Amino acid sequence: MATEFNDYAQILGELWVGLEGDPRLADLFELNNLGFPLAYAHTNGLSTITDKGKVYITQTWERVLEEFFLDDVGYEGIDHFLEAAELE
């Protein structure tokens, strides 16, 4: 089962806020400099996401999964993702 849009948007937003300065993720954050803040804004009620914004967030999620060689197994939150990505 794939992770739901709002769940992966929440995970991306929390990654961006919690790990933005982590040198292991610097390239990932730089290459996805729209998707992470859009996900954060969306999940924190700071903006209404458009269809185009959803595309950026989804592409960022796909890149994050690729970066950590993970399958989308239906992550239920940041803790579940961090454990799978070995970023705890």
**pTM confidence score:** 0.92
Q: What's the pLDDT at 14? A: 94
Domain boundaries along the sequence of the chain: 5-85
- At 22 the pLDDT is 86
Residue 88, pLDDT > 70, answer no
Tell me the pLDDT tens digit for each residue of 26-85: 999 999 999 999 999 999 999 999 999 999 999 999 999 999 999 999 998 999 999 998
Over 80: is that where the pLDDT of 87 sits?
no
Note every long-range contact of 35-42, with CB atoms under 8 Å and residues 24 or more positions apart, other chains counting. 35/59, 35/60, 35/61, 35/63, 36/12, 36/60, 39/8, 39/9, 39/10, 39/12, 39/13, 40/12, 40/13, 40/16, 41/13, 42/9, 42/13
